[in-house]
A and B are shown apart, each in its own frame.
Chain A
Amino acid sequence: MKNINDSKTYEDSLPKYNRIKPLTNSLFSAVFLLLAACCVIPVIFITIISFSSVKSINSIGYSFIPKAWSLDAYIYLWNNIEMIGRAMGISVFVTITGTLLGLLLTTTMGYVLSKSEYKLKKFLTWVVFIPMVFGGGLVSTYNVYTTVLHLGDSVWVLILPMAVSSFQVIICKTFFKTTIPQSIIESAEMDGASQFLIYSRIVLPVSKPLLATIGLLLSFAYWNDWWLSLMYISNRNLYSLQAVLMSVERNIEYLSQNANTLGASAAEYASKMPKESMRMAMAVIIVLPIACAYPFFQQYFVSGLTIGSVKE
């Protein structure tokens, strides 16, 4: 407090005076440590299980400190590379195609809506807005997708339904409207540039943060989707990683349930598989790319929200 009249030192040290008590700070820190642990421990836990030996799991169950480590689960998955590889291929294809398609559909619509002089703007705004508050419901959606659009059991049913979301279209519109100087677009129009040229040569290049945000939202959504597979896919060749994970859960359950009634062969088959660690290994394969990537991308999720919350 000695330097309180020295304005520079005082300004610098102000936050120091204006803060919570040290004890409260330690308490809060402890709370956050606990919560963060809650969020990370499950991932660590399933990773440990996936590296546990069958014997260890059978004797002491899932444990943070297995009696013995083993790579059996991953070796087994590697031997079934055909199944896993195909599922991985589907997941990657769906994620990449879906993200690109989604970006294209979202930004073109967003660009059109951002042009205030466009005569159909009002109509299109309604087209985008209504699905935000009203939907056809699951039953008719299911019937339309399968019987009218004939999308059942095709890879496109995993891609198309999730490509556009009205919320993202509106984020786009707001972004284009607020960050791209209207004068640049007008001068390009004067020079006779077509709307498509303006969109691809001027609007998109200056909208990289927006494209990153929406692209990431889309790719995480596609990578994590299991719902569309559950509803519309029965052909095993079209299973994504998430769908395989879902069906492995059921089939292993099925095998272990029926082992007693079906006699030795099924029981034997079930016992040879490192099934417990194997399914955890599959979950690890899905989780790991995300767990490694998201810390670098999370800022875009935040910016996506803040761009979207700007109201006209």
Chain B
Amino acid sequence: MSDGRTILLVEDDEDTRFALRVRLTASGYVTREATDVDSALAAVGRERPDLILLDLGLPGGGGLAVLERLGGAPDVVPIPVIVLSARPAATARAAALAAGAAAFIEKLVDNRDLLTAIAGLLEPGRPQA
């Protein structure tokens, strides 16, 4: 179903990154990884991912800095970004959406929510489960 679409995982915690990679690979996605703001921006240019999963607590300026700098590059086709955060949704959601995120998902929610959000953004025409 996922047709080998590429997802860029921007996450500094190694085990979280590992777990997301296993989860997404099992669902048929190809994953690429970055661990800080600069490597994330470089990977966007290099890999042209179909979607970005972005952690907010990143070294080098935080996930919001990635969103802001992506928004400021007009030549890049907008790539949907899902912000995944360990911060409570009540405070972080508004900031992430204001900075241009397509969705905000609090870490530790049911993985179905995450996979549904990814599918919804990559295949907007397809009815969501």
Q: Do A and B bind each other?
A: no
Residue numbers of A with Cβ under 8 A of B are: none
